[in-house]
Amino acid sequence: MRGNQHRWKLWVSDHARCVLEELAQRLKWAWQTDKKYPKSYPLNTDYAFAEVHSQLSEGSQDGSKIIQPQTVELPCPPSPPKRLSELVQERTIKAVYEQQNDGSYEDALKLAASGERKGSIAWRKILHAVNAAYLIHSYGDEFIPTPRVQFLHRSLLKVSEEVGMNDQTHEGIVEFLDDLCPCGVRHEPETIRKLRKRWTGRKRAKP
């Protein structure tokens, strides 16, 4: 029987560990709420991840800084766009692309620029993401397309990278997912290995 040793907690700061333990509770509620509307984008879960990224980036490493919600004044109305980059944001294009396709947005750009046959396929996928980004920026969050790939696991892997677990073993990442992920499915090291290899493309984990 596989036992969860919670090894990931030894790899992160005390501040990050506290933030992630709270995330586990928020995700459980958010994911169960979003599952009631399977054809809609999981906004509650996405907000939970956005909040944890904010806490991880703004909080001190020793946990001494308590982050309080801040009131943000509404910005001035934007001037009419003169460039495509003013009409849609590339970070939105990237987010949509990676939630709709396997592989990273950066790899898709390289493939599209290669001139190969697969490059035209990658370009069409990028254009779909650009169109979705336009609708989102123009008409609101209700136009965010439903993710086609493993939204929860990808998002949690991104969190694990942010807190410095790139070198964690696949078994250690499985324990991390077992502690935080509300999907209810048994996480297997081989599945996680394939997901990390296919998506992250960054520093290799220990075998």
Distance CA 88, CA 131 (A): 9
Residue 207: what pLDDT? Answer: 42
pTM for the model stands at 0.68
How many whole angstroms separate alpha carbon 189 and alpha carbon 160?
A: 15
The low-confidence residues of the chain, meaning pLDDT below 70, are 1-2, 59-78, 199-207
Return the amino acid letter for 158: K
Place of tokens 């995330």: 23
What pLDDT, on the 0 to 100 scale, is given for residue 67? 41
pLDDT at res. 20: 93
Which pLDDT belongs to residue 81?
A: 79
